[in-house]
């Protein structure tokens, strides 16, 4: 995610945290649930093949713990 028009790296830590917290309040995460697939490490080889074949839309999150 990009804070367009703001060089957030140069902002004080507290300001960055406040900005990201505010975005978290405003953002509708439910609208993106179908674009995220969560897998375990055992599913990584198959997911990598699907990604390389262009068969994945959205994001694949790998659960490592």
For the residues of 1-51, what is the DSSP string, one character each?
---TT--GGGS-HHHHHHHHHHHHHH--GGGGGGGEEEEEGGGHHHHHHHH
pTM score of the predicted model: 0.57
> pLDDT tens-digit profile of 20-61?
899 889 988 888 888 999 999 999 999 999 999 999 999 999
As a whole number, mean pLDDT of residues 4-27 equals: 85
What span, in angstroms and rounded, lies between the C-alpha atoms of 12 and 41? 36
What pLDDT band is residue 8 in, cutting at 50, 70 and 90?
A: confident
Task: Name the 3-class secondary structure at 36.
Answer: strand
Q: CA angle, corner 40, sides to 39 and 44, nearest 5?
A: 80
Q: How far is CA 52 from the centre of its chain?
A: 19
């Amino acid at each position: 995610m990009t804070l367009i028009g703001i060089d957030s790296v140069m902002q004080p830590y507290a300001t960055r945290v406040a900005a990201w917290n505010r975005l978290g309040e405003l953002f509708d995460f439910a609208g993106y649930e179908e674009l995220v697939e969560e897998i375990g490490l055992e599913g990584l080889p198959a997911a990598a093949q699907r990604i390389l074949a262009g068969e994945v839309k959205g994001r694949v999150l790998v659960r490592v713990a």
